[in-house]
Amino acid sequence: DSADMDTVLQYTKSHYAAPNPAYFGQAKGKNVIVIHLESFQQFLIGMKVDGQEVTPFLNSLYHNKSTISFSNFFNQVGLGKTSDAENMLETSTFGLPTGSLFSSLGTDNTFQGAPAILNQIQGYSSAVFHGGSGGFWNRNNVYKGLGYQYFFDGNFYDHEGNATTEYGIKDKLLFGESIKYLEHMQQPFYTKIITTTNHFPFFITDTDTNFPNAGTSDDTVNGYFQTAHYLDQAIKEFFDYLKSSGLSKNTLVMLYGDHYGISNDRNQALAPLLNKDPAQWTSFDNTALQRVPLMFYGEGLKGGIQSQYGGEIDVLPTLLHLLGINSQDYVQFGTDLLSKQHSQVVAFRNHNFITPQYTVIGSKVYANQTGELIQPTAQLKKTLDADQAKVDEKLDLSDNVANKNLLRFYTPPNFKPINPKAVDYMRSLT
């Protein structure tokens, strides 16, 4: 009941991290385009196969002077995969310990999501572009609750010929076809493009790629580099459009990887390509590979590679602060990655965690610097126990918010609750 909500508010208020004045409002009033890099892991950045960069465009973007990039940013998804990532990014609350929050609670729960906040505080319009079925992960219902005004799902795209792969139309076609909808959006807009080509089983035809086969014993691993390369080309084409149309002048582009593409049981096939001995591969290495990209690109932004630790839960307060909206009044479990007060203890959905120094997996502790399993001293054990308690508290409170639908008991100042029933995404088709 509302007493549970008070406990949550006490937590979020006391864990609030104030914006960094060097970044607050740096992208104020700009359009926002979020690019969802399906199954894209950080190790792809800078990686080469047969001497060729897998993702040359994203590599250049990562190092661009107008890009704020993160080198220790982790996915925190559970079984809800893509939907958990979306949920964290749109609300700064966690997915559920089992299943997908979007699927099980997404239709009826109260949300105070990014599109609603941006619309109500700064007049943003909003849309999602995704060339697959709108019902996947219950998006067609959840997006209404998040405050999305438009959802251009597979119904809005051409599926003739060989346009479609398992989860949607191919990324180059998705970006290309989305432009005509994007151009009708009232500015400033907050939009998200959800790619799908770089999704397991990472299938791609020879007509869509000439990228070398990595030649490992695992075809899934080999395909991964080819579909990631294709995705990279699709993004380059889209950026060419942003430049030529002039949109890039007043747009902040945020790119993120949602979760792993190569699962832990395939990492040994991947190991040699990362110059690692498969026989020495450990849970520490599996955890290290949970890094995914996070980049903010915008003309005039003060870019650079940031090495502080953080995760998907931290994105929304970071974004809001860049746009000049204080996150203080919202129920958010992450903290602004650019804030001096940002917490660098990164919780995984299964309660394991990583800090800048240590990786804690159940009762095992690894030192990040060496990757070695260590026996913590009594002093260190105390510190890590305290970190574990923080992780547990944060996840449990977020679960309470979700399972008890607590946000219906709290409306932030200047926020009007969203009525999902008032939205019809198919109206522009009828």
Return the H-helix or E-strand segment holding 361.
Answer: strand 358-361
Smallest gap from residue 194 Cβ to ligand GP9 (A) = 6
Would you count residue 227 as binding ligand GP9 (CB under 6 A)? no
β-pairing, 353-354 vs 346-347, is antiparallel
Is the torsion defined by CA of 260, 118, 5, 389 positive or negative?
positive
Window 83 to 142, contacts with ligand GP9 (CB under 6 A): 132, 136
What is the spatial distance between Cα 38 and Cα 257, in angstroms, rounded to a whole number? 6
Q: Examine the residue annotation and report whether 227 is marked as an active-site residue of this protein.
A: no
Instruction: CB nearer to Mn ion: give 91 or 149.
Output: 91
Would you count residue 82 as binding ligand GP9 (CB under 6 A)? yes
- Residue by residue, DSSP assigns 4-19 as HHHHHHHHHHHH--PP
Collapsing DSSP to helix, strand or coil, 76 comes out as: coil
Out of 12, 67, 82, 216, the active site residue is 82
Residue indicated by tokens 């159940």: 362
Smallest gap from residue 82 Cβ to Mn ion (A) = 3
Angle between helices 219-245 and 171-182 (to 10 degrees): 30
Q: Centre a 10 Å sphere on the Cβ of residue 400 and count the other Cβ atoms it contains.
A: 15
Residue indicated by tokens 């449990």: 396
By beta carbon distance, the residue nearest ligand GP9 is 81
Would you count residue 167 as binding ligand GP9 (CB under 6 A)? yes
Quote the tokens at residue 150. 């438009």
User: Could you give the residue ranges of the DSSP H alpha helices within 46-161?
Assistant: 56-62, 81-91, 101-105, 114-122, 139-146
Which of ligand GP9, Mn ion, none has residue 196 at its interface (CB below 5 to 8 Å by kind)?
A: ligand GP9
Instruction: CB nearer to ligand GP9: give 82 or 290.
Output: 82
Which of ligand GP9, Mn ion, none has residue 329 at its interface (CB below 5 to 8 Å by kind)?
A: none
**Phi-psi bin for 362: left (phi > 0), alpha (psi -120 to 50), beta?**
left
Instruction: CB nearer to ligand GP9: give 82 or 149.
Output: 82
Binds ligand GP9 by CB under 6 A, chosen from 199, 236, 266, 321 = 199
Would you count residue 170 as binding ligand GP9 (CB under 6 A)? no
Q: What is the CA radius of gyration of the chain?
A: 21
Is the torsion defined by CA of 201, 224, 230, 35 positive or negative?
positive
Binding residues for Mn(2+): 38, 82, 258-259
Instruction: CB nearer to ligand GP9: give 81 or 229.
Output: 81
> Which part of the chain contacts ligand GP9 (CB under 6 A), choosing from 41-49, 51-59, 193-201, 235-243?
193-201
Q: Omega of the bond prior to 21 within 30 degrees of 0, cis?
A: no
Smallest gap from residue 116 Cβ to Mn ion (A) = 23
How many Å is the maximal CA-CA distance in the chain? 67
Q: Are 303 and 73 in contact (CB under 8 A)?
A: no
Residues near ligand GP9 (CB under 6 A), total: 8
Smallest gap from residue 44 Cβ to ligand GP9 (A) = 16
Instruction: CB nearer to ligand GP9: give 136 or 143.
Output: 136
Binding residues: 38, 82, 199, 258-259
> Which part of the chain contacts ligand GP9 (CB under 6 A), choosing from 194-202, 293-301, 310-318, 379-387?
194-202
Smallest gap from residue 206 Cβ to ligand GP9 (A) = 24
Smallest gap from residue 212 Cβ to ligand GP9 (A) = 25
Instruction: CB nearer to Mn ion: give 42 or 339.
Output: 42
Q: State phi, psi for 168 to the nearest 5 degrees.
A: 160, 180
Contacts with ligand GP9 by CB under 6 A lie at 81-82, 132, 136, 167, 194, 196, 199
Where in the sequence numbering do the catalytic residues fall? 82
